[in-house]
Amino acid sequence: MNKPDRKTILLLAFRTYFIRIFYNYNNLFGEGLCYCIFPLFSSSCTSSREEVAAKHMMTFNTNEYLSGFAVGIILKTSESGEGDMERTKNILSSVLGSVGDRLIYRLILPVIALSAANKFIISGFKPDACSIAVIISLVAVFNIFNLWIRYFGISKGYDRGLESLKIFKSPVYTRIVRILTAARNILTALLVINFVIYLKVSNILLFFYN
């Protein structure tokens, strides 16, 4: 199997968007993983779909946003024949699950939601042009990041295998996590403050006191 070109990596990245559809309680993301890697094996004619399914249709967990790393690393391990595939998948399930949940669900998405909520409160809960522009911008930035992290994961995962996971222990990643954590905490405090100010300005608090 030759190294996937940019077009192929982009195709695989788009397929990872649908990995959640195949989630089930029998093998978790196992079927979704097969769906993501089928095109590469089919194009190389190295394995039939039945062989790929038999090899990879097992219990496998990941984070959907970081599933690109799983696809790239598993393709690399499968091609090289080096390393235990089951051990590789266990490592991926543990690392990508915990890192993805923390990075995406506990930091990035809350920062986006809190930013939009703060702007909405500041605008007096009125969907003015500025608030709509801010929300659209936040959604656009997240979707660009979403595609990039999937593409980057497949590319780096295929190039470096499990070594690519070291990025989540790097000083840069640690710094990003700290910044996002601080941003989330600050935005949470601002949300409370802005809401109290809104209630005071709107005289809503006087209603409760009276």
From the number of C-beta atoms within 10 Å of its C-beta (0-12, 13-18, 19+), residue 81 rates as: exposed
Residue with tokens 């659209």: 136
Whether 83 is covered by a domain: the verdict is yes
One digit per residue, the tens of pLDDT, for the chain of length 210 reads 567 889 999 999 999 999 999 998 888 898 888 888 887 766 555 555 666 666 777 888 899 999 999 999 998 888 877 668 888 989 999 999 999 999 999 999 999 999 999 998 888 888 888 888 999 999 999 999 999 999 999 999 999 999 999 999 999 999 999 999 999 999 999 999 998 888 877 765 555 544
Domain that holds residue 17: 6-209
Whether 1 is covered by a domain: the verdict is no
- Which of 38, 31, 34, 28 minimizes the C-alpha distance to 63? 28
What is the distance between the alpha carbons of residues 49 and 108, in angstroms, rounded to a whole number?
36
Helical axes 6-16 vs 30-44, angle rounded to 10°: 160
- Which of 101, 135, 104 minimizes the C-alpha distance to 118? 135
Query: In this predicted structure, what is the pLDDT of residue 1?
Result: 57
Whether 124 is covered by a domain: the verdict is yes
Q: How many domains does the chain divide into?
A: 1
Whether 69 is covered by a domain: the verdict is yes
